Structure 1
């Protein structure tokens, strides 16, 4: 059935609403950003620019899914699916990096979502982000939600529905865990926005193989990439993961702009909220948590493990080298260590994916393949 006929026959109602604004006065930076968005938005509309949607990869269970997207202005004649191209389209992905940071968001725009046979209306937030949980019955697997702001600008967003009864899931940090850029953290936004060639970022040795082995060990395992990176770099990160053989999965990123309480959003708070969402949305899953010791991952994972001891399977921490520690936070020593005591989850540390895989094999968490143990043993030292 075509999109147009599905739209006409879809049924449903408003099932998700944006969080209400706090009663106290917003932070001055947020007020300035709101004025800027209003002024620029009016100017673009006078030039006949139109809203366009950038879809993100969503996830959910068989009865409730999370739909993610961003609403941006686009010049007249821009195809509706400009942001909705295959991840392997190298030219499209190369263009998008800087355009995503230069784009103007459309705050509070109502967005229509067609998923299955149900239609929903959800609003974008003040940063143009659509982040809505919708109650809809879907079978396990990958589905496509249809999103639009006006007839004719429909795009599709992938939705991964996790099968009921899934026992294990994987949550992975990105920067310094699966990817190394060899730049100080303050420059990562610029790097990801303007430098888009494959040679500009390096894969952490052995991490794609580790994730593939975990996926084979747990065939129904959902893979969620959790990062403090901005939604602006979603296409760049998606392309990197695809090109280097990482399992496909949703990315939970954040908006770097001002909030009602501060100039920038808190990265650790974003990760705490995302982990709490996963624990609530998938109560039967025990998570393998993967991060690095260059920032706050060990303490964040420890707090989650203490709050939800039955939701953590294993914690895997990549140990950064001294130069990487310097770039991450300005010191040669790790910023944080995993502080939990006896009775906490199994914690494995190693300098790369080969060492982590070998350690998991020694613990009996992954079957040992031919010659893998010898190779990993040389790397873990």
Structure 2
């Protein structure tokens, strides 16, 4: 079971949220009132979760969407549009904050409040067998949707954590202008998988049956459906997406993507203390530094670190590669420009 956060002392004073968060809340409230008048309905978007034999982490988001009749031409057009959606449309959705979501799995029911961005991220105590299971999610005025959940076997000793941008997908995220183009403009079918990475991850998952696969990214929850379709279309192994919110928080203008990754790695290590993780990233941002720090803090939780090297052109436009540090954690580190090269080196270390 995940460690529980210590109870905070209640002094009676509630801290005032950051002004940007208050402004965002007002904008969301105005947009919600506006689209509800136009007949938009509450919709729960389920994401892939994970868990152990005693609990599951269920993920999803509550949005307002335009209603369509089942089987109608409008529904077919929406499905076609969703399959060719451009990035910016993912960021125009209207979240429903503080709504109650009912989660049911294996006969157990659990109610939770979506956060101020409509995100549902909760742990449900339930005893399940290893493998894939299905949780249902709904609000009082939405239809029931199904969320896949992968339960890790108690004897699992190996897991995969992979970055997304410039690791499994070529997005050139370090380059601000191209990052904006890829994120907000580019059609999802035009996104390019990193050569050899799907084969590498599938091989790792196949040779370590039952191992959990986690895709850890600083990307926004808005793009989760797009990323899920991309991973499936390019034959990456199924796994949970751990994304974040680009908006303001209660105490700062923007969320820290780096902090999101650091906290997620520590949480996974606490949730699965017997698993050693293969950490996969790239040298274009902070993956080396984040993984290196985690390997020093929790060397027993890291099987190896695999870093995909940017091409010379990518490195120049990104302002250079991240500075390689001396790795003194005793954890193997491998570097290569593609999945095939990483696979060869991981084989040399006996990890494949």
TM score, norm. by length of structure 2 = 0.89
Shift of 1:337: 2.3
Matches within 5 A, 1:18-29: 23-29=14-20
Partner of 2:73: none
**Residues 1:252 and 2:238 aligned together:** no
Residues 338 and 298 of structure 1: CA distance in aligned 2, closer, same or farther (over 3 Å): farther
Shift of 1:190: 4.9
2:46 pairs with 55, 80, 86, which one? 55
**Residues 1:269 and 2:256 aligned together:** no
Contact 2:165 2:172 in 1 (8 A): no
**51-60 or 41-50, which deviates more:** 41-50
Whole-Å Cα distance in 2 between the matches of residues 248 and 300 of structure 1? 24
Deviations 1:183-212 (A, max 9, x none): 6245535523442243x2222211111112
Matches within 5 A, 1:131-146: 131-146=121-136
Contact 1:65 1:135 in 2 (8 A): yes
Shift of 1:49: 2.5
The DSSP-based 3-state class of the residue aligned with 1:53 is strand
The DSSP-based 3-state class of the residue aligned with 2:117 is coil
Partner of 2:324: 337
Contact 2:85 2:188 in 1 (8 A): no
Whole-Å Cα distance in 1 between the matches of residues 36 and 191 of structure 2? 38
Partner of 1:361: 347
Shift of 1:33: 0.3
Whole-Å Cα distance in 2 between the matches of residues 90 and 167 of structure 1? 41
1:191 pairs with 182, 186, 197, which one? 182
Whole-Å Cα distance in 2 between the matches of residues 189 and 174 of structure 1? 16
Shift of 1:325: 2.1
Matches within 5 A, 1:162-241: 162-182=152-172, 184-185=175-176, 187-188=178-179, 190-198=181-189, 200-241=190-231
Whole-Å Cα distance in 2 between the matches of residues 24 and 186 of structure 1? 37
Partner of 2:232: 242
Whole-Å Cα distance in 2 between the matches of residues 231 and 55 of structure 1? 11
Contact 1:170 1:221 in 2 (8 A): yes
Backbone CA RMSD of aligned residues: 2.5
Partner of 1:352: 338
Partner of 1:6: none
Structure 1: where are the runs of 5+ without partners? 1-15, 80-84, 367-381
Shift of 1:151: 5.3
2:306 pairs with 301, 311, 316, which one? 316
1:105 pairs with 95, 98, 103, which one? 95
Contact 1:295 1:336 in 2 (8 A): no
Deviations 1:108-148 (A, max 9, x none): 11101111100110100011111101111111111111111
Contact 2:303 2:332 in 1 (8 A): yes
Whole-Å Cα distance in 2 between the matches of residues 361 and 302 of structure 1? 21
Shift of 1:152: 5.3
Contact 1:294 1:336 in 2 (8 A): no
Contact 1:296 1:336 in 2 (8 A): no
Residues 64 and 273 of structure 1: CA distance in aligned 2, closer, same or farther (over 3 Å): same
Shift of 1:250: 0.8
Contact 1:52 1:153 in 2 (8 A): yes
- State the number of aligned residues: 337
Whole-Å Cα distance in 2 between the matches of residues 196 and 167 of structure 1? 38
**Residues 1:325 and 2:341 aligned together:** no
Whole-Å Cα distance in 1 between the matches of residues 14 and 200 of structure 2? 47
